[in-house]
């Protein structure tokens, strides 16, 4: 392996470790609110697109409709979301967060970013360069068939 290949390998492993650590923190914060990681992600998706259809939510979660349907049913049972028929298209089910779901999402989200506060002291140019490099790498990887 040449130096560039070694650095790319190290970068990929570092990004994997970074993802693992942020997921660990995220999982802990979700668990504090008696939520699963997937439920928090679903509530986040609903926070930006409310209401959402089952298909829209499945796309946001990158899961199939059947899997998402089961997740939504469990979230309804916990009082985190509601399911209602669309008034203009009776075949469509709209999924919306409840006040309880919105509150638990807001607390988890705020606590997650509070836990990440120690990284706020990184310089903006360094973060900008890192983001640009990661974006370039991601585009190249997405181009691989």
Nearest-CA neighbor of 69 among 139, 81, 79?
Answer: 81
Distance CA 41, CA 137 (A): 25
33 CB contacts (<8 Å, ≥6 apart)? 40, 104, 107, 108
User: Residue 94 sits in which domain range?
Assistant: 3-142
The total number of structural domains that make up the chain: 1
The CATH number of whichever domain residue 72 belongs to comes to: 1.10.10.10
In this structure, what DSSP letter does residue 90 have?
T
Q: What pLDDT, on the 0 to 100 scale, is given for residue 97?
A: 96
Q: Which two tokens stand for residue 103?
A: 């509150």
- Measured N-to-C along each axis, helices 37-48 and 65-77 cross at an angle, to the nearest 10 degrees, of 90
In order along its 145 residues, the chain shows pLDDT tens digits of 888 889 888 988 998 999 999 999 999 999 999 999 999 999 999 999 888 899 999 999 999 999 999 999 999 999 999 998 878 887 888 999 999 999 999 999 999 999 999 888 888 898 899 889 889 988 988 899 7
Model-level pTM? Answer: 0.77
Q: What are the C-alpha distances in Å from 14 to residues 10, 11, 108, 134?
A: 6, 5, 26, 11
Q: What pLDDT, on the 0 to 100 scale, is given for residue 65?
A: 92
Q: What pLDDT, on the 0 to 100 scale, is given for residue 4?
A: 85
Distance CA 44, CA 108 (A): 10
Q: What pLDDT, on the 0 to 100 scale, is given for residue 104?
A: 95
Q: Could you give the 3-state DSSP secondary structure of residue 110?
A: helix
């Amino acid at each position: 392996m040449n130096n560039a290949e070694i650095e790319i390998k190290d970068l990929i492993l570092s990004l994997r470790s970074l993802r693992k650590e942020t997921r660990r923190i995220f999982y802990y914060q979700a668990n504090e609110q008696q939520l699963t990681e997937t439920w928090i992600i679903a509530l986040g998706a609903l926070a930006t697109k409310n209401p959402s259809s089952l298909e829209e939510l499945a796309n946001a979660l990158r899961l199939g409709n059947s899997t998402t349907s089961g997740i939504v049913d469990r979230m309804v049972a916990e009082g985190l979301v509601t399911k209602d028929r669309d008034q203009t298209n009776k075949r469509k089910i709209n999924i919306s967060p409840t006040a309880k779901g919105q509150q638990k999402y807001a607390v988890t989200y705020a606590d997650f970013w509070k836990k990440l506060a120690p990284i706020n002291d990184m310089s903006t140019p360094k973060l900008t360069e890192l983001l640009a490099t990661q974006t370039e790498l991601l585009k190249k990887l997405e181009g691989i068939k």
